[in-house]
Structure 1
């Protein structure tokens, strides 16, 4: 039974790390004493140790401990034995490359399919979809594959931004980029705004948070869905 939170971000404006979602995480990880943190995305090139300290500081507020996967001699066994797993944001290409390099993709897939609760934010959310082709990150490394973990039957675009009519920026909008993606790919894309997340409970996929999400389907006009909407039909 899958139990997954796919969050757009770890931090919203005016809030501390994971603070906006901590009450939900207390319930989500209620049966976990220690959370296995996978810091591979390394935002800004931060070290695995320092990134783990950031995650641990947040989870301490809900009486949970965090231990980084890099602290284990055997990352496969660490994943298999985890009470809960969290993958934070950073660069999605760096993240997926390291997951492939350490040969933990299949084990991670199976562990989450078997019911271990999983939290992903930003890059950690991108890898929950079919591919990482709708990430906003620069491809600073070349992973063996753009294929992701496929826990949901669509792609994610975290940190989704709406066009700003007052902006002097003349480049492509996020919506334009996703339309470009659909020139070569057919799977749906969910634009998750800051502070929004998806809760995957077995076969149920529900939008959570206070904001709407923008849905992009191949050869269809993009549309909005309200918080509380089930998205199981997207394929």
Structure 2
């Protein structure tokens, strides 16, 4: 099946040294402009105050030349998504976000529209988690349970946003991120995991996957050591 997906998956909206979404401004603007998109639907489901969260994103993105509308303001979310050209799913709690997407019958709809090339997808943090095969590698606490951990599946692997190495001088003796991901990799249902460092963006364009932004990423595969990839690297092999 021909996949025409176009997506920008951000590790987060915040990155040290930058204001909200500033590190991704050029990528997001170019992504929307080259596809002739001026209207962007923001999905605020990962947080409980939908109005405030939408306003925060609206205040940042509208000065770039795009109109932003919260999905929660539409009487029928599925109707809004069916007619949308681009969506941005923001961060917050991944479990809450996926539950809301299932409740509104949006998981399959978004997958079908993105894979057909009729919907551009931008995700950040939790919005990036739900774009993947499953949310098993989120950093969030399970404050509420979605009907399934299976997610939208725009890409056939998992992502760990906000990925960070253990700092050797750190006195914290709890589990590291690598240990947590290692526990997941021992499961029979484990997929490869792309750890996105703060400031990293995964650009999916059909059968191409490129790392963009101001930082790189790491890749974990079952039975293998993690491998580092710098910004600019082609990681399309993750689609195989």
Look up the match of 1:35: 40
State whether structure 2 residue 237 is matched by structure 1 residue 233: yes
* Post-superposition offset of 1:232: 2.0
Q: What secondary structure sits across from 2:142 in the alignment?
A: coil
* Post-superposition offset of 1:83: 2.2
Look up the match of 1:55: 57
Look up the match of 1:178: 181
CA offsets 1:172-208 (integer angstroms, 9 cap, x no match)? 0000100000111331001100000100001111111
| In 1, Cα distance between equivalents of 2:230 and 2:80 | 37
State whether structure 2 residue 95 is matched by structure 1 residue 90: no
| In 1, Cα distance between equivalents of 2:109 and 2:172 | 43
CA offsets 1:5-58 (integer angstroms, 9 cap, x no match)? 01100011232211111111111111111100110001xx4x101111011011
RMSD of the TM alignment (CA)?
A: 1.1
1:162 maps to which of 160, 165, 183? 165
Q: What secondary structure sits across from 2:53 in the alignment?
A: helix
State whether structure 2 residue 203 is matched by structure 1 residue 199: yes
Judge which range, 120-129 or 184-193, deviates more: 184-193
| In 1, Cα distance between equivalents of 2:165 and 2:175 | 11
* Post-superposition offset of 1:209: 2.1
State whether structure 2 residue 142 is matched by structure 1 residue 132: no
Look up the match of 2:192: 188
If the length of structure 1 is used for normalisation, what is the TM-score? 0.96
| In 2, Cα distance between equivalents of 1:89 and 1:67 | 16
How many residue pairs align between the two structures?
232
State whether structure 2 residue 20 is matched by structure 1 residue 17: yes
Identify unmatched segments of 5+ residues in structure 2: none
Instruction: Confirm or deny: 8 A CA contact 2:14 2:21 kept in the other structure.
Output: yes
Identify unmatched segments of 5+ residues in structure 1: none
| In 1, Cα distance between equivalents of 2:164 and 2:142 | 20
If the length of structure 2 is used for normalisation, what is the TM-score? 0.94
CA offsets 1:138-188 (integer angstroms, 9 cap, x no match)? 000011000011111210000001111111100000001000001113310
